[in-house]
Structure 1
């Protein structure tokens, strides 16, 4: 039986708040005092994720991301601090991952039919992108946080879908804490972050999904306490072209969708933004390079690899010690 927390005896209720955003839904499970203003909390959580979407969506013509993408090369663009924070983190993980995480894939995303421009691969557009000289993020973007601005140094198109949802979950966690909530689980799609533990003292239990297209099945359970988790895979957002299934995640180094033996990667981190970006990076890097990269960076990650005999798990950190059911309390 889990040990009770010191405030477990206080009157407490479990509230579940949720709403639409970014083509999916956000949610928050909250253990709180009955006096908490849930309507105000719901409104502020919705505003937090809507702000991230308004700033970083490649689908919204007036988003700050689209403004930056449309700006001429070498023209400084004034940007809000939130997107600058995400761009700075993205640049850092791009460097640490040796380019496996590279948000400069917007043109690739559109060419392959996963963006706002088209809904199917376009051979001419793919050829055009592949003919262009590769320009990784570290060479194509300059960020000036002190002045609140950034500029492109090359004609690239940024896409923050591999990190923005994780950041939105972090913003939700910040809102929960600002409202005095000490026990909550914030979620958006496959990204989650625990604020403390449950009021009972038990960690938050999160399902580890089995990477099967067309159905949702639980493969294991992850227990979270003051920690974030994110999963990237090839089984939720994809398209079928002939006999091939194309994942939505792009490998900038190959100028093509990810195509390796990795079905999914789950990463633990203290922020959901970092967990989200690293899960994307390791999915792109693949089983060999990705495992070596995770080991070098001291990441806690679980790879599910497709093998002829079925799915094979390869875990690092607490995943390595406990398989698919790490206790992280």
Structure 2
């Protein structure tokens, strides 16, 4: 269940309301400035319902989720799915095409072999990890019928939405706020966030960009946002280690292996958190040269933090560019 609270009084009896709860193996949070008589119980219930619906639709850790049913279905078998999942699959296909396969939701088997899947208990499948080959673009192996809310695999593939589902969940939290007429809000799941409007006194929402450290949490910088979404993808929060070898949870579809490059993290601003989430993953995979080129082409605000010896070098595009 979600938890709610009301804090402080603002001009014209506008108050800060907060909500939080568990979802997708982590936590969601929401805060807003609205009238003191906001029906927090109703809004809290809507927020809870929104994120749990996304989890039930898009989790590959739930045995009866829409995504799991699709993964278990045979080739060329149409599977009924939610309208939300259909939209996410289509958007993932588009971003995969735009990024030349750097973003590919067909990495499920590779995620399992690398020790990050639901049934692998954090263990590498070393023999299979050595069987590296590029993944086919998802548009070649998946067909989505949005009008009838169904999908089918055209070849054997295991889908994994970890690079886009949380972002979509954040967008769903934002839609709850909008439906309730709330004009000033910040919502998030883990490190994926989206903001609307400003605080009552006109200030933007201040967020910390995390320093990409393996063993501690520390802020690197603070950014102020309004009417935008932000997401970060990196190598430092989710990883496994075996026989002295550290492996990031991010996969490179172009090689069929866990990602290996010098980028520690990429933070992206976009209109939706679904896009910010997916593009952050894609730019991380593409690396500095190709990633920066794509960010500029898409006019994305992106901050690349690159490991160089014992130092971090920051490279930015859009609002993150120097000067």
Higher strand residue share: 2
- Is the counterpart of residue 197 in structure 1 residue 198 in structure 2? yes
State the distance in 1 between where 2:322 and 2:196 align: 24
Give the TM-score taking structure 2 as reference length: 0.94
Alignment match, 1:4: none
Q: Is the 8 A contact 1:238 1:246 kept in 2?
A: yes
Aligned residues between the structures: 313
Report runs of 4+ in structure 1 exceeding 3 Å deviation. none
Q: Note the 1:111-190 alignment, pairs <5 A.
A: 111-118=113-120, 119-127=122-130, 130=132, 134-190=135-191
State the distance in 1 between where 2:20 and 2:205 align: 17
Alignment match, 2:276: 275
Q: Which moved more, 1:293-302 or 1:311-320?
A: 293-302
Q: Is the 8 A contact 1:267 1:276 kept in 2?
A: yes
Alignment match, 2:314: 313
Q: Is the 8 A contact 2:233 2:281 kept in 1?
A: yes
Deviation at 1:284, TM superposition (A): 0.9
Deviation at 1:321, TM superposition (A): 3.8
**Structure 1 residue runs without a partner (length 5+):** 1-7, 323-329
Alignment match, 2:51: 49
Alignment match, 2:267: 266
Alignment match, 2:17: 15
For the residue of structure 1 that corresponds to 2:38, the secondary structure is: coil
State the distance in 2 between where 1:202 and 1:85 align: 34
Alignment match, 1:102: 104
Alignment match, 1:36: 38
**Structure 2 residue runs without a partner (length 5+):** 1-9
- Is the counterpart of residue 245 in structure 1 residue 246 in structure 2? yes
Alignment match, 2:3: none
Q: Is the 8 A contact 2:209 2:219 kept in 1?
A: yes
Q: Is the 8 A contact 2:29 2:189 kept in 1?
A: yes
State the distance in 1 between where 2:135 and 2:239 align: 24
State the distance in 2 between where 1:246 and 1:124 align: 15
For the residue of structure 1 that corresponds to 2:100, the secondary structure is: coil
Deviation at 1:309, TM superposition (A): 5.0
Q: Is the 8 A contact 2:206 2:225 kept in 1?
A: yes
Q: Alpha carbon RMSD of aligned pairs, Å?
A: 1.4
Q: Deviations over 1:118-159 (max 9, x none)?
A: 02101234356x36x742202111111112111111100000
Give the TM-score taking structure 1 as reference length: 0.92
For the residue of structure 2 that corresponds to 1:301, the secondary structure is: strand
Q: Is the 8 A contact 2:97 2:137 kept in 1?
A: no
Q: Note the 1:219-258 alignment, pairs <5 A.
A: 219-258=220-259
